Structure 1
């Protein structure tokens, strides 16, 4: 780099506060200066004169640095932060309604503080640094599932868990690693469709072998939504989608004929709750009773037993104790998360950033929609929590991680001029 150009870039960078923005602006200006210098060289000017003219074209370094500092200042999405605070605050209400303050209030406060710390920590981290680490994240996800499959410490309804005191590791914890892996794979033009297919089939097999069908469902939806936002042609996307769904349907039929008795009872209870009111259908009838007895502004019928009232069934608890009006407010707040994520994608030039946004949005929406749908009897009951509202450390950290990724991408939306080339 020549002295005149070096001095100009240092003077401009001196007015930019963000280290990330400073590096980005220096690289961009250096590129444009070299381009302008070549232009004047082609006009017949000497190297020194061409450099001087290129620098002069840029204008005042002070004014340019001040303008670029405003333009590339790291952004905080305060709307998303407000929604996060509101959702985490709503998560305390079931504890008060159920009078669980003595047992769960302190741990809930700790969980919320950890969730906020994770979201802010991920926001401050530059997501672009992990763009080429897809294989590492995929391997970590695979190893975690293999450990769960091979060395479970607890089995609940056939599902494998590893417990470390109050912390329980389940297959849901592998999703963040696979999510980051697929964002990298789908943004890599060197990846072939057959490689994508093999990686997906192998990882899906591991989810089924745990087994955890709810996590496998979330994972599958995430992969295919991200696939349709990837760099593959529409023909390849359609081919992989059709083939995969045929395969999944075939595997589903195989699992159906090998279904355990308790799993078949759950399915029959969902389809015919009245006929199985004394067994698997009881919970569906209980939920119908809870929702039918809830008023617009809270129940007047006293206590109702709700299983898993502060975890998976928390939406039923909120509706019963705080009413339909509050339930609608809760649905609106959680829906605004998805709306905001969709809006942010319009600002992104980075294909990797868009894939991260789409993946985060999908993982969040599937949990939110499925949880409420199963509470209303529209889908079978399974272990999917309501984001930020259900009690639990790992689900809260998982969703805080997703929001942190969105905040990280938004924070650097003006620091990306195009996709990174492999």
Structure 2
């Protein structure tokens, strides 16, 4: 059948396009008081993102592994430069102002962690494990200095997920984990800024800080709850109209969906994300070799973490971290690099199907 001969999983770009449509609707609703500039910019980034998804598939397999080290040095340099020349927003220096949009180097770091770890761990030695840990740690520390604690923690979790899915011995991996967990109290008391500590405390006791650090979360929870099963209707949410929830076009965009489309709207988003995760899981099964398997696992991890943390944050069951909701939150860098990650998954799908057919294996 023609469908079986395709070298692309069409479900992935279709699901991404549907999520982008949901995002544009929510962005327009939350920013219409400022005109249509936010929506127009996001449309441009969505188009660029979809183009990047398909262009990433054109990379040759061997070039992708070679690219990992070049990408690491480029990422490391950009993370250093952003600390000196980046744009300051909310006390953090995380972005380069490109005039047509903002570029966030930490988004490149997520791809870099996946590729560099998968490349290094092709050889199962303690030396390579330590090398990958040191390489990732260098990026984690630079991201944490911006400061962007949420992304820094996400990079660490991402590294562990890829390592655990490799065939490395678990003893040294567990030892590294135990050491990091033992250092958490030191990090809390001596490494975190006061507002970061307050976010953690406010998460544990939101009622105490509902007028300060827990204000955003408190308003988001109330707004989502007010939507009920079916929502108040598109463009009819009072909290969205009067902007009671800060950053409701970026970090807390789920509050807009929950208020205007209710439980059904949020459930639809969860279903779309679940379908996307299912398609990536299928690509993992078809992976040509361990390198592609680890790349796919890394991409799966990054998406699941983003969705779980962002939705949990908006519902008050996770601390505030500033992690966007994939393809729905307003943002150019996140959309572009999410699409590039899925482009790598599509490339894995293409080479995996080719390999299975050459071996005479069964395809699903």
The TM-score, its normalising length taken from structure 2, stands at 0.86
Residue aligning to 1:290: 223
What does residue 280 of structure 2 align with?
A: 341
Q: Give the distance between the partners of 2:74 and 2:5, measured in 1 at CA.
A: 34
User: What residue number does 2:44 align with?
Assistant: 110
Q: Paired residue for 1:139?
A: 73
**Is the CA contact 1:137–1:178 (under 8 Å) kept in the aligned structure 2?**
no
Q: Partners of 2:57 and 2:185 in 1: how far apart? A: 39
Does residue 10 of structure 2 align to residue 78 of structure 1?
A: yes
DSSP-derived class of the 1:194 partner: helix
Which one of the candidate residues 278, 290, 299 is aligned to 1:360? 299
- Secondary structure of 1:131's counterpart equals helix
* Residue 373 (structure 1) aligns with: 312
Aligned residues: 347
Give the SS at the match of 1:154: strand
* TM-score between both structures, scaled by the size of structure 1: 0.75
* Structure 1 residues 293-322: Cα deviation after superposition (integer angstroms, max 9, x where no partner): 112111278411221111111111101111
Q: Return the match for 2:154 from 206, 218, 227.
A: 218
Query: 1:175 is matched with which residue: 110, 113, 119?
Result: 110
Structure 2 stretches of 5 or more lacking a match?
359-364
Q: Distance in 2 between matches of 1:258 and 1:135?
A: 29
Question: 1:325 deviation in Å?
Answer: 0.7
3-state SS, counterpart of residue 416 of structure 1: helix
Q: 1:357: Cα distance to partner?
A: 0.7
Alpha-carbon distance, 1:180 to partner: 1.7
Q: Rate the CA distance shift 1:105–1:209 in 2: closer, same or farther, 3 A.
A: closer
- CA drift of 1:240 comes to 2.2
Larger Rg: 1
Identify the range of structure 1 (237-246 vs 349-358) with the bigger mean alpha-carbon deviation.
237-246
Is residue 203 of structure 1 aligned with residue 139 of structure 2? Answer: yes
- The Cα of 1:245 is off from its aligned counterpart by 4.3
CA distance in 1, matches of 2:9, 2:270: 21
Query: Comparing 269-278 with 106-115, which one deviates more in the overlay?
Result: 269-278
Specify every segment of 5 or more residues in structure 1 that has no aligned partner in the other structure, as ranges: 1-69
Shift of 1:254: 3.0
Are the counterparts in 1 of residues 28 and 36 from structure 2 also a CA contact under 8 Å?
Answer: no
Secondary structure of the structure 2 residue equivalent to 1:161: strand
Most deviating of 145-154 and 188-197: 188-197
